[in-house]
Amino acid sequence: MGVFNKLFKKKVVAEAPSAKPQAVKSAAKAADPKAPAPASVPTQKKKGAITPAQEAADKEENEQLKKANSGGFLMHVSLEDKVMFARHLAIGIKSGMSLQDSLRLIRDQSTSKSFKFILSRLLDDTANGMFLSASMEQYANIFGQLFINIVRVGESSGTLTENLNYLASELKKKRELRSKVRGAMIYPIVILVATLVIVGILMIGIFPKILPVFANMKITLPITTKLLIAISEFLTGYSLFVVTGILVVIIALILLHRVEGYRHAWHHLLLHLPIVGGISRKVNMASMSRIMGLLLASGVKIIEAVNITADALENRVYQHELRTAGETLRRGEFFSLYLAKRPHLFPPIFTNMVQVGENTGNLTENLDYLSEFYQEDVEQVLKNLSSIVEPFLLLFMGLLVGFIALSVITPIYQISQSLTL
């Protein structure tokens, strides 16, 4: 961050217009009004103007980036890059740089080829007189409607720097929340996967060499051992089909995840699962209140803010509810009245705070409070998630290990008893 600020300062100092030639010229005219003006006084370039050298360099880099990003549909920009883009653009504009010089400097500092390509397109469009938000519309799938609308409002109201700072703060909080949710899920997932891998190795690599010994002996095998032998023989004999089936299921789930009806059903199921449902509701409440508060603080009208928030949320159930709420707002109804009819999605505390904000005119402040409230609540739940999930993991692992141990030890005990007799 410090290096970026130094680069901005150097750029601003380098572009500061020199007043010395103008002062010399004025002094010469004052000394002799009839004297002709100096013939070779160099004119200062307009701030932010593109020199032929810069234009040639930009054109050459654009051609290289176009070749590197010929598959445009595969372009991806990380959340970290978008946070840095909003923050650095705000710093550049606030420090006195032109929009194009700020974009050019951000592009030169970026390490992502996809983002470099997008920034080059934004640079070309703004140089041709297009608004930044209008140019960003071409990459709505990259930036999202929230980002684009915040920039659009900032351009129209003259508060682009402030709006970009708000946006950078919102994206940073979103990144932190997502990171904490993923971090909390890593422990149980790692334990579960490791357990299944170990059991799979035992079933395919070790048990096929041991279990046939039990089958060939003249003893009555317990049901657990018979079941273990059947599972081991199936995995050993049809391992290729099992692996293929797993891959087919994974690919099918990925493809189904793109189907809107499936995603809506899946998100509806998540909201009704124990433990996960409560966390999902709180995460959506935190995101919804934070995004809507940001939009209202940036000057967006309530109806448009509700619709943009719906597009910004990932949960399809909440998307549908907010779009419906936007329609009721157009008919003149209060937002809180719509929320109150759906307490299973919008908790009473959220509805009551929205209602108070609508009545007192402090809706933005109340939404900010709600976002902090739910953010802290989610963080606390995630901290305790390991202690909540750990008993279920231990129970699952205990049952699995007990089943395997019982299946192997019981025949050994029967054999030892027959040898003793």
Residues 6+ apart with CB under 8 A from 377: 282, 286
Instruction: Dump pLDDT digits (tens) for 170-197.
Output: 888 888 888 887 877 787 888 888 888 8
CATH classification number, 272-383, choose in 1.20.81.30, 3.40.1110.10, 2.40.50.140, 2.40.50.100: 1.20.81.30
SS3 153: helix
Report the mean per-residue pLDDT for the chain.
79
- Confidence band for 26, pLDDT divided at 50, 70 and 90: very low
Q: Where are the domains of the chain?
A: 272-383
Which of 395, 401, 396 lies closest to 199, judged by CA?
401
Task: Give 4: exposed, middle or buried? Use CB within 10 Å, 0-12, 13-18, 19+.
Answer: middle
pLDDT (mean) for 68-87: 73
pLDDT of 274 higher than 60: yes
SS3 266: helix
- The Cα 20–Cα 13 span in angstroms is 15
Write the DSSP string, 355-407: HHHHHHT-HHHHHHHHHHHHHHHHHHHHHTHHHHHHHHHHHHHHHHHHHHHHH
pLDDT (mean) for 45-66: 51
Task: Give 367: exposed, middle or buried? Use CB within 10 Å, 0-12, 13-18, 19+.
Answer: buried
Instruction: Dump pLDDT digits (tens) for 329-339.
Output: 999 889 999 99
> Residue written as tokens 């983002």?
115
pLDDT of 22 higher than 70: no
